[in-house]
Amino acid sequence: MERIGIIAKKNKPEAMKVVKELIKWFKDHQVKCFIEPEMEKFVPHSSLGMEEMPHSVDMVVVLGGDGTLLAAARAIQKRRIPILGVNLGGLGFLTAITLDELYPMLENILRGDYRTDERMLLKAEVWRGEKVIDEFTVLNDVVINKGALARIIELETSINHEYLTTFRADGLVISTPTGSTGYSLSAGGPIVYPSLQSIIITPICPHTLTNRPIIVPEGATIRVTLCSKEEEVFLTLDGQVGFRMEVRDRVEVKKGEGFISLVNSPSKGYFEVLRAKLTWGGDLVPNR
Show which residues are catalytic: 66
What span, in angstroms and rounded, lies between the C-alpha atoms of 119 and 68? 17
CA distances from 84 to 55, 71, 112, 116 (A): 17, 14, 14, 9
Which secondary structure element, helix H or strand E, spans residue 110, and what is its range? Answer: helix 99-110
Work out the angle between the directed axes of helices 99-110 and 13-28 (0-180°, nearest 10).
30
Closest CA to 126 of 259, 206, 258, 244: 244
Cβ-contact 93, 69 below 8 angstroms: no
Spatial contact of 169 and 155, defined as CB atoms under 8 Å apart: yes
Distance CA 150, CA 160 (A): 30
Beta bridge partners of 29: none
Q: How many CB atoms lie within 10 A of CB 266?
A: 14
